[in-house]
Amino acid sequence: MAMYNLSVNGKKVKVDVEPDMPLLWVVRDFVGLKGTKFGCGMALCGACTVHLNGQPARSCQTPVSSIGKNDKITTIEGIGDGKMHIIQKAWIEEQVPQCGYCQSGQIMSAVALLKTTPKPTDADIDSAMSGNLCRCGTYDRIRKAIHKAAEEIQMSESGIGKM
Amino acid sequence: MKVAGLTSVGLALGISGFAKDASVKKIATAVLRLEINPFIIIATDGSITLVNPRPDMGQGSTQAVPSLLAEELGVELEKILIIQSDGQGKYGSQTSGGSSSVRELWMPIRKAGAAAREMLTTTAAKRWEVQASECVAEDGKILHKASGRSLTFGELAEDASKLEIPKEPKLKSPKDFKIIGKFNKRLDVPDRVTGKAVYGIDVDIPGMVYASILHSPGIHGKVLSIDDAETKKVKGVLKVMKTERTMPHRTSDAVAVIATDWWAALKGKKALNVKWDNAQYDQTVNTAKYFEATYEAAKKDGINFEEKGDFSSKYIASKEKIEANYETPFLAHAPIEPENAIVHVKDDGSVEIWAPVQGPDWALRDVCGYLKLKPEQVKINVTLLGGAFGRKAYHDFLLEACHISKELKKPVKVIWTREDDITQGPYRPGMLSHMQGFVENGKITGYHHHAIGESIAGQVFKQLNENEADPWLSGELATENNKYQFSAASKVSWTHVKTDIPVVWWRSVYASNFGWGQECFIDELAHLAKKDPLKARLAILSDDRFKKVLETLAEKANWEEKLPEGTGKGLAVFSSFGSISACCITVSKKDKGIKIDKVVSVLDCGYYVNPDNVKAQTEGNIVMGITAAIKDGITFTNGVCDQTNFHQYNVLRLKETPVMEIYIIDSGSNPGGVGEPGLPPVAPALGNAVFAATGMRIRKLPFDINNIA
């Protein structure tokens, strides 16, 4: 075991775990944040997506030992800063989730996309979101929700946001 | 999960059974404790509680079921507190399966709501000394509009509970519906986008240990030896034990690694060195050999399920005839939340369970049977399900946790890996449809569907005699189901080809297999008759609902439009779970393959609760139906599954999702299913579209959309 000092959603946490333990299990079972999901264990489905310094990362393939103490980890519980994130609101508007299990990962990928590409085209959405699997088949609504959130961000920047 | 503590006296209504004539009865004792609560409780504090007998796996039952109650009670949906039922017999059937939530609960829940409304109204009217007909229920109150007086349900509940329950309460007329049939946002969505929703895998119980289980690579192999030297070096590993995987029809060996956390258990499992005796399973857990046997069976007569006219002799005599074999693969359900369960077998022998299961009633039956307990000794807490599609009504993973916890007398959390999920099954069975048919004077008049393969009822329930046709064919293939009228002769027959590969229902069950053969072959027969595939179908259909569905599809999908060379449209119609669905897919040639340009789906599901959820379920059915047609099937070579994870068992991705249009027909018929019926026509519509665009007839699924040759 080894002690790791992590920054999760802006809070310092200390965990005593094996160095090869994936961040996924550290976050879920040692930090107690269950919103990040296990789906495949091989970075194939995207359910475990978190942000590492703002970049989407597959936490099931990120050993805790690879994380530096200045690295900032953000999970689904941390994206809204205590409020509902504009993406989460768009997800509700479009009634995206069915079972909802993959949606934490979908939302983390979408938030990262809008940060770098505030006005994504369909092609941008295709390339940013196609690593996140949804077995319920909510893809069409995910696409619509991302477009909606992008519009909303632009409107709020011009001062006429409603959501 | 929200759990209500019910301490106040009030009006409590139960529903006996779920038959159409289910009667509402009052629970004699005032509601003081959770254990005696029936389905619906209106307490003196005004709270309304519904014990929901349909777990939510994404299909929206936690909105659909309370909507039926809220509508009749005249309250907002938000006002109803939902408790998931626990499997005990008093709650009747409690399994989310067979697209049953709304169609089975439609009358019982509405009747209970209407009865409660009448009792509350009568109580208020008596208190005010006015006619009940002058009072209405609105927003959790009874109003006497003439005098402007009102009383809350809570104020009336205790007195109302003393009344006789009306036997035939007056249900709301559909024209007065304010919730049913209207768009309402699902109240569970905010939790599902913020990480707050609690799935089985998210539950922690104090003192629990974790288990990862090594299953036989040959599924049924026997453990010969266990070398756990390396496993025991893994920090956190507590124990290695031989365990068992109990399926409904047989039990297989397995080895469990118990640890203080699941990562340690998984590492320990990977370090195990177990020797297996795989006996003959290289031959009997083998998809190539299985399909060989189905094609052999196609050359012989099957057992008749139904026959109208003498098909065989008319087929021999007919001049314009064809026959073809249509194959569908084994498929894994692959819900993104893998199978998992927590079981605590306590010192006193009682058991508590936290698990994502589709039916707590079935789970209770299986756990009681396995541990030899009485139902009252087992408490089941059903969590949300992170997808299921039929898989989580098969309790092997739950019984594994029972077996280990019984040994350890501790809460044990079993989590399957994706590899367990994909390599171990149970699967949708692969099936072969041997089709024969003939046409006369430009009309399809003779048709035979010979269904061949492993029987779900036969393997799972051991409910199939060797001399009988699988009774489950009635739901899909019987002519009273597909409504086609073949004027010369028709036949549905069956041959049982067994396999040791575990099988089970998968979204839409046999309809997902046999829709492929039926609807592609009808297309072939239409072309043989030199008729347009839509017109050829309409010519042999007299059922008004089927015709309306097809005519609506033709209009919405612009069936008659002239298409450029290399583009084609295909359609299919299939009825399952009490609903009728038709699908039209447009494809165009692209390089060596095709691309899917558009999918139009039409559904007549009778009355429905939330049109947006009906659309969502149909979108899901289109995505899953296309996945089943063009992505990976499950294959076993020499007793071992060839696919292990999502890199070999691909599912459709966002960038591959076509434009979809969905139309619901307001037929006003009794409610049909919604969660499954949209799926069966998808694959055959695609196959027929490929034929229209390329002239290539696809008969075997899955096929490579990028290489049609």
Encode pLDDT of B595-639 as tens digits: 999 999 999 999 999 999 999 999 999 999 999 999 999 999 999
ipTM: 0.97
Residue A146 resides in a domain:
yes
Residue A99 resides in a domain:
yes
What is the C-alpha to C-alpha distance for residues B556 and B3, in angstroms, rounded to an integer? 46
Determine whether the interchain pair A34/B653 forms a contact, defined as Cβ–Cβ distance below 8 Å.
Answer: no
Enumerate residues 321 to 340 of chain B having a beta carbon within 8 A of any beta carbon in chain A.
334-338
Mean of pLDDT values over B652-658: 98
Q: Which residues of A touch B263 (CB under 8 A)?
A: 18, 21-22, 25, 29
Same domain, A91 and A134: yes
Is A14:A24 a contact under the CB 8 Å cutoff? no
Nearest to B570 by CA among B586, B553, B555, B556: B586
- pLDDT band for A82, please (50, 70, 90 cuts): confident
Same domain, A100 and A53: no
DSSP letters along B430-450, please? PEEEEEEEEEETTEEEEEEEE
CB pairs under 8 A between A and B: 180
Inform me whether the pLDDT recorded for B477 exceeds 60: yes
Same domain, A153 and A92: yes
Residue A162 resides in a domain:
no
Which of A29, A41, A132 is the closest to B417 by Cβ?
A41
DSSP letters along B653-708, please? -GGGPPEEEEEE----PSP---SSTTSTTHHHHHHHHHHHHHS----BSS--TT--
- pLDDT band for B13, please (50, 70, 90 cuts): low
Which of A36, A96, A136 is the closest to B387 by Cβ?
A136
Residue A32 resides in a domain:
yes
The residue behind tokens 């997902």 is: B512
Q: Which residues of B touch A43 (CB under 8 A)?
A: none
pLDDT in tens, B557-571: 999 999 999 999 999
Mean of pLDDT values over B465-477: 88
What is the C-alpha to C-alpha distance for residues B406 and B402, in angstroms, rounded to an integer? 6
Is B184:A92 a contact under the CB 8 Å cutoff? no
Q: What end-to-end distance do the CA atoms of chain A give, in Å? A: 46
Picking from B182, B263, B617 by the largest number of A CB atoms within 10 A of its own CB, the best residue to mutate is B263
What is the C-alpha to C-alpha distance for residues B90 and B113, in angstroms, rounded to an integer? 18
Is A55:A62 a contact under the CB 8 Å cutoff? no
pLDDT in tens, B83-103: 999 999 888 889 999 999 999
Determine whether the interchain pair A137/B417 forms a contact, defined as Cβ–Cβ distance below 8 Å.
Answer: no
What is the C-alpha to C-alpha distance for residues B257 and B266, in angstroms, rounded to an integer? 8
Which of B188, B195, B616 is the closest to A76 by Cβ?
B195
What is the C-alpha to C-alpha distance for residues B680 and B661, in angstroms, rounded to an integer? 17
Same domain, A47 and A95: no
Same domain, A103 and A140: yes
Distances (CA, A) of B204 to A39, A117, A122, B209, B342: 18, 38, 40, 10, 8
Mean of pLDDT values over A93-103: 98
Residue A121 resides in a domain:
yes
Supply the CATH number for residue A111's domain.
1.10.150.120
Inform me whether the pLDDT recorded for B33 exceeds 80: no
> Which residue of chain B is at minimal alpha-carbon distance from A102?
B336
Higher pLDDT: B158 or A17? It is A17
DSSP state of B503: B
Number of structural domains (chain A) is: 2
Residue B471 pLDDT = 93
The residue behind tokens 């289980």 is: B213
Determine whether the interchain pair B189/A97 forms a contact, defined as Cβ–Cβ distance below 8 Å.
Answer: yes
Inform me whether the pLDDT recorded for B675 exceeds 80: yes
> Which residue of chain A is at minimal alpha-carbon distance from B260?
A29
Q: Which residues of B touch A21 (CB under 8 A)?
A: 263
Mean of pLDDT values over B143-148: 96
Same domain, A70 and A96: no
Inform me whether the pLDDT recorded for B161 exceeds 90: no
Same domain, A72 and A110: no
Residue A36 resides in a domain:
yes
Token digits for A36?
A: 């990040």
Residue B196 pLDDT = 97
How far is the alpha carbon of B335 from chain A, nearest alpha carbon, in Å?
Answer: 6
Residue where a domain stops, chosen among A78, A101, A133: A78
Mean of pLDDT values over B261-267: 98
Using the Cβ of A132 and the Cβ atoms of chain B, whether some distance falls under 8 Å is answered with: yes
Task: Provide long-range contacts, Cβ within 8 A and 24+ apart, for A66-71.
Answer: A67/A4, A67/A6, A67/A23, A69/A4, A69/A5, A69/A6, A69/A7, A70/A7, A71/A6, A71/A7
How far is the alpha carbon of A137 from chain B, nearest alpha carbon, in Å?
Answer: 4
Residue B481 pLDDT = 86
Residue B480 pLDDT = 76
Same domain, A14 and A74: yes
Determine whether the interchain pair B263/A18 forms a contact, defined as Cβ–Cβ distance below 8 Å.
Answer: yes
Token digits for B479?
A: 């002519």
Residue A140 pLDDT = 98
Q: Considering only B70-74, B160-164, B550-554, B681-685, which range has the smallest mean pLDDT?
A: B160-164
Inform me whether the pLDDT recorded for B227 exceeds 90: yes
Enumerate residues 20 to 59 of chain A having a beta carbon within 8 A of any beta carbon in chain B.
20-22, 25, 28-30, 33-42, 44-45, 47
Inform me whether the pLDDT recorded for B21 exceeds 60: no
Compute chain A's Rg from CA coordinates.
16
Supply the CATH number for residue A25's domain.
3.10.20.30
Residue where a domain stops, chosen among A37, A58, A78: A78
Q: Which residues pair with A5 in a beta bridge?
A: A14
Host H or E run for residue A73? strand A72-74
Distances (CA, A) of B15 to B25, B26, B41, B115, B376: 6, 9, 12, 11, 20
Inform me whether the pLDDT recorded for B5 exceeds 50: no
Q: Which residues pair with B320 in a beta bridge?
A: B439
Nearest to B624 by CA among B503, B476, B507, B704: B507
Token digits for B437?
A: 């048919």
Q: Which residues of B touch A38 (CB under 8 A)?
A: 201, 338, 415
Same domain, A67 and A37: yes
Residue where a domain stops, chosen among A47, A78, A109: A78
DSSP letters along B554-595, please? HHHTTTTS---TTEEEEEEEEEETTEEEEEEEEEEEETTEEE
Q: Which residue range(s) make up the domain with A141?
A: 86-157
Residue B10 pLDDT = 64
**Domains by residue range for chain B, with CATH:** 10-178 (3.30.365.10), 200-280+339-415 (3.30.365.10), 287-331+427-694 (3.30.365.10)
What is the C-alpha to C-alpha distance for residues B67 and B78, in angstroms, rounded to an integer? 10
Higher pLDDT: A81 or B37? It is A81
Inform me whether the pLDDT recorded for B11 exceeds 80: no
Residue A61 resides in a domain:
yes
Q: What's the pTM value of the predicted model, to 2 decimals?
A: 0.95
What is the C-alpha to C-alpha distance for residues B60 and A136, in angstroms, rounded to an integer? 12
Same domain, A7 and A56: yes
Residue A163 resides in a domain:
no
Same domain, A12 and A53: yes
pLDDT in tens, B504-532: 999 999 999 999 999 999 999 999 999 99
Residue B373 pLDDT = 98
Token digits for B198?
A: 């609690």
- In whole numbers, what is the pLDDT of chain B averaged over residues? 93
Q: What is the SS3 assignment for B525-545?
A: HHHHCCCCHHHHHHHCECCHH
Same domain, A19 and A37: yes
Using the Cβ of B622 and the Cβ atoms of chain A, whether some distance falls under 8 Å is answered with: yes
| Strand order from edge to edge, sheet including B10-15 | B24-26, B10-15, B40-43, B48-52, B80-84
> Which residue of chain A is at minimal alpha-carbon distance from B58?
A99
Which of B192, B235, B338 is the closest to A97 by Cβ?
B192
What is the C-alpha to C-alpha distance for residues B39 and B52, in angstroms, rounded to an integer? 7
Using the Cβ of B199 and the Cβ atoms of chain A, whether some distance falls under 8 Å is answered with: yes
Inform me whether the pLDDT recorded for B1 exceeds 60: no
Is B519:B681 a contact under the CB 8 Å cutoff? yes
Enumerate residues 382 to 411 of chain B having a beta carbon within 8 A of any beta carbon in chain A.
384-389
Q: What is the dihedral of CA B311, B312, B318, B324, to 10 degrees?
A: 100
3-state secondary structure of B79: helix
Which of B417, B623, B645 is the closest to A44 by Cβ?
B645
